[in-house]
Structure 1
Amino acid sequence: MSLYISIDPGMKKCGLLLADMQSGEVIEAGVASLNKFSDLVSQWNEDHEITKIIIGNGTNCKYIENKLKRNNSFNINYVNERGSTLRARFRYWEIWPPNYFIRWLPKEILFPPANLDAIVALILLEDFLKYRLIWPSKVNIKTWP
């Protein structure tokens, strides 16, 4: 099994995503505080043996990298995250299409109800891989405080 972790770094929280490259599916996704994210990555690595870690090259990325290296997480790659938050809004509506009359409104004016950090992590991984992943209906965006 070839598993990748994608991280959207931020000042107070990170979007995290665990995906299986063989099936092309997201396994787990969510948002974690800066205090929790490295513990979660370590846990995923213990449970699954991670192949690569992808990090957005924007805000706080060096802090994230240093914290991961202290926890013996290596094979880290950077991805340009310019424009990823805006693209995540559109991707959100592809995964969870709006209901009723809302679906007829332009996607540019719709704001997703959920935190987008996990979707940004998805966008970063898809940019790195150069293909789209499948988000199974059973995978919900979690919050790890």
Structure 2
Amino acid sequence: MIWIIMETDEKCIIAIDPGREKCGVAVLTVNRRTLVQKTVSAGKLAAVLKALEIRYQITVFALGSGTTGKMTKKMLEEEFPSMKVVVVDEYRTTDEARKRYWQENPPKGLLRFIPSGMLVPPVPVDDFAAVVIGEKYLTHMKNL
């Protein structure tokens, strides 16, 4: 679990990788800089998002289309009625998240001889998936 907090005056988005038990959350600037990256329990998602919305200039929620996406979208629209929610296709985000995990946490010992695509990270990578979802949104965004 990574919890990076950086200050910025830039406009930001919150990217969410929704799940039944845990969700990935990331705050990215419109220039694609990751300010916050965290995996949280699904029950605490709304509280975490409220805290992040207060701290950063959030313009949109980029929500992954996967598991519990529809339910999470409904919660976002109820809890944050003035915030725009955009659903982003999650296709292959978990694969990319695993790849990024191993880039940031290179395997050690004998594991370094095994191709990273064959390794399973020892921790959830929902936070990395949220970053990938946010980057996908920023790549295809029209206006913030």
Fold shared per TM-score above 0.5:
yes
> Using the alignment, how far apart are the partners of 1:36 and 1:126 within structure 2?
24
Q: Where in structure 2 are the equivalents of 1:85-124 lying within 5 Å?
A: 85-124=94-133
Runs of 4+ in 1 over 4 A off after TM superposition: none
Aligned length: 130
Question: Which secondary structure state, in structure 2, belongs to the residue aligned with residue 77 of structure 1?
Answer: strand
- Report what 1:40 is aligned to: 48
Question: What residue in structure 2 maps to residue 60 of structure 1?
Answer: 68
RMSD of the alignment, in Å? 1.8
Shift of 1:104: 2.8
Query: Mind listing any 5+ residue stretches in structure 1 that lack a counterpart?
Result: 132-145
The separation in 2 between residues aligned to 1:90 and 1:106, in whole angstroms, is 10
**What residue in structure 2 maps to residue 31 of structure 1?**
39
Matches of 1:50 and 1:109 in 2, distance apart? 37
Between the two proteins, what is the percent identity of the paired residues? 28
Per the alignment, in what secondary structure is the counterpart of residue 43 of structure 2? coil
User: Aligned AA for 1:47?
Assistant: R
Offset, 1:100: 4.2
Q: How far apart are residue 96 of structure 1 and its match?
A: 2.3
Structure 2 unaligned segments of length 5 or more: list them: 1-9
1:35 is paired with a residue of what secondary structure? helix
Contact 2:94 2:129 in 1 (8 A): yes
Return the match for 1:130 from 114, 128, 139. 139
- What is the aligned partner in structure 2 of residue 136 from structure 1? none
Task: Give the residue type in structure 1 aligned to 2:85.
Answer: I
SS at match of 1:64: helix
Residue 27 of structure 2 aligns with which residue?
18
In 1, Cα distance between the equivalents of 2:16 and 2:61? 8
The normalised TM-score by structure 1 is 0.80
Structure 1 residue 129: deviation in Å? 2.1
2:93 to 38, 63, 84: 84
Structure 1 residue 95: deviation in Å?
2.3
